[in-house]
């Protein structure tokens, strides 16, 4: 099973969201349908970046590492690496 760390963006809120999942398509639908509390304020979430991991632990470490930077500039750097 593959775990995916992802970054999505809402133009309406001008905000990024970082998370991890095993099913990126399903997860984006959940974000855009209001099923996730933090992202329920918008319905225009778009996938901007993703990275695959072989274990949940590695994915969680990467998610925490990105979030710990508390930096929009760093997130935009990652997103720009496509």
Q: Write down the domain spans for the chain.
A: 3-80
- Residue 52 in 3-state DSSP? strand
Classified as helix, coil or strand, 82 is: coil
pLDDT the model gives residue 8: 98
- CB neighbours of residue 12 within 10 Å: 11
As beta bridge partners, residue 52 has: 4
The DSSP call for residue 40 is T
12 token code pair: 């309406």
pLDDT mean by block of 10 residues, the chain; 82 residues: 96 97 96 92 96 98 97 95 66
pLDDT at residue number 82? 56
Q: Are 50 and 8 in contact (CB under 8 A)?
A: no
Which architecture characterizes domain 3-80 according to CATH? 3-Layer(aba) Sandwich (3.40)
């Amino acid at each position: 099973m593959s775990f995916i760390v992802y970054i999505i963006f809402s133009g309406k809120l001008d905000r990024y969201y970082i998370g991890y999942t095993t099913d990126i398509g399903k997860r984006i639908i959940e974000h855009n349908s209001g099923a996730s509390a933090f992202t329920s304020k918008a319905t225009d979430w778009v996938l901007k970046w993703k990275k695959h991991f072989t274990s949940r632990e590695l994915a969680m470490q990467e998610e925490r590492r990105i979030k710990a930077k508390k930096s929009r500039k760093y997130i935009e750097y990652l997103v720009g690496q496509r």
